[in-house]
Amino acid sequence: MLSYLLLSGLTTGSIYALVALGIVLVYKATGTINFAHGDQLMIAGFLAFTLHVLLGLPYLVALAGAVAGSFALGAVAAQVGFRAVLRTSLVNVVLATLGLAFVLKGFARLTWGGISDYLSFPPLVRPEPILIGDMVLLPQQLVVTAGALAVMGLFALFFRLTTIGKAMQATADNPRAARLVGIRVERIHLLAFAVGAAIAGAGATLMAPLTLLYPDIGFMLFIKGFAAAVLGGLTSLPGALVGGIAIGVVEALAAGYIHSSFLEVSAFVAIMATLVLRPRGLMGGPPPRRA
């Protein structure tokens, strides 16, 4: 029982960590939160569904397509919508991204089905569980967890090794100094929104075979990812991983040992407790400067 709960917590936690990673990335670069992050993820999931299930393309092609589509959507949304309000105030950014979230949700509802239409994604590997001692492992869960960790590893490499990644880090650290050394800060903002969305796209495609796809999944995942990001510290990328896995495990344990309905609520309780007791989160520093 315990090992099963821990493993399923780890799996959902790694998805939350991916969502949180995108949120933290945008927060570090721009000092704001993209409330449409979850719905961008949901759209990417439906995109992968269209490519893989409806058009019959291989899973990896669907993954690439969802990541690319999500990147493009993120870039367009940032360019058309957020760029104009980023310079004004936090209230405006939050409201504009919230507006986009509902546009995407409505679009998905109209395009891919009605409110209770849950689309299922075929499993990637054989569904039979593997028994190791008395531990029950679902191959699907292992694939998802490994995939999520791989995406995070790739992102960490991108951030550390490439010039663009370093420019993003510099902008997050100090936008004015970054501008002085010739980094185009506006472009970095745009890129942060797009890369954040691309990570969400990868997360959506990884997660889809485990869960069902439906238009409201976006906001649910956004809140979980936001909770994970806050728990880890909004400014810390490793914190996103720790926070995501912590939320996933706590949720699974609460659902297993208390009552299944506690699955949904434990993240909110975690958010409220974190914000009251330690608003900086586990690994967070002071808030970034807004450019």
Partner 1 sequence: MTVRPLWVGLAAALALAVLPLVANPYLLFVGNQLSIFVILAVGLNLLVGYCGQLAFAHAALFGIGAYGTALLKVHLGVPFAVSLPCGALLATAVGLAISLPALRLSGLYLSLATLAFAQFTLWVFLHWEPVTFGAGGFRVPAPSWPIPGVTAGIGTFYLALALAVLLTLAAASLVRSRLGRAMIAVRDGEVAAQALGVDLLRTKAMAFGLSAFYAGVAGGLQALMLGYVAPESFDLFHMALMKAMIVVGGLGSIAGSVVGAGAVLFLLEGLRAFKGAQEIAFGALLMGAVILAPRGLAGLLDRLPGWQERYLRAAPAERAPAAAVPREAPP
Rounded to the nearest 10 degrees, what angle do helices 185-207 and 59-77 cross at? 150
Answer for the pair 234, 271: CB distance below 8 angstroms, yes or no: no
Q: Within 61-100, which residues bind partner 1 (CB under 8 A)?
A: 81, 84-85, 87-92, 94-96, 98-100
> Residue 271: which residues within 8 A CB-CB, separation 6 or more?
226, 227, 230, 231
Neighbouring C-beta atoms of residue 65, cutoff 10 Å: 20
Reduced to 3 states, what is the DSSP secondary structure of residue 171?
helix
Q: What part of residues 260-289 is at the interface with partner 1 (CB under 8 A)?
A: 261, 264-265, 267-269, 271-272, 275-276, 279, 287, 289
Q: Which of 160, 176, 187, 278 binds partner 1 (CB under 8 A)?
A: 176
The distance of closest approach from Cβ of residue 227 to partner 1 in the complex, given in angstroms and rounded to an integer, is: 7
Contact pick of 3, 58, 60, 102 for partner 1 (by CB under 8 A): 102
Applying the rule CB under 8 A, the residues between 205 and 264 that interact with partner 1 are 219, 223, 226-227, 230, 234, 261, 264
Closer CB to partner 1, residue 32 or residue 141?
32
* Inter-axis angle of helices 139-161 and 237-257, nearest 10: 160
**To the nearest 10°, the Cα dihedral for 36, 278, 30, 70?**
-30
Residues that bind partner 1 (CB under 8 A): 27, 31-33, 81, 84-85, 87-92, 94-96, 98-110, 115, 175-176, 179, 185, 219, 223, 226-227, 230, 234, 261, 264-265, 267-269, 271-272, 275-276, 279, 287, 289-291
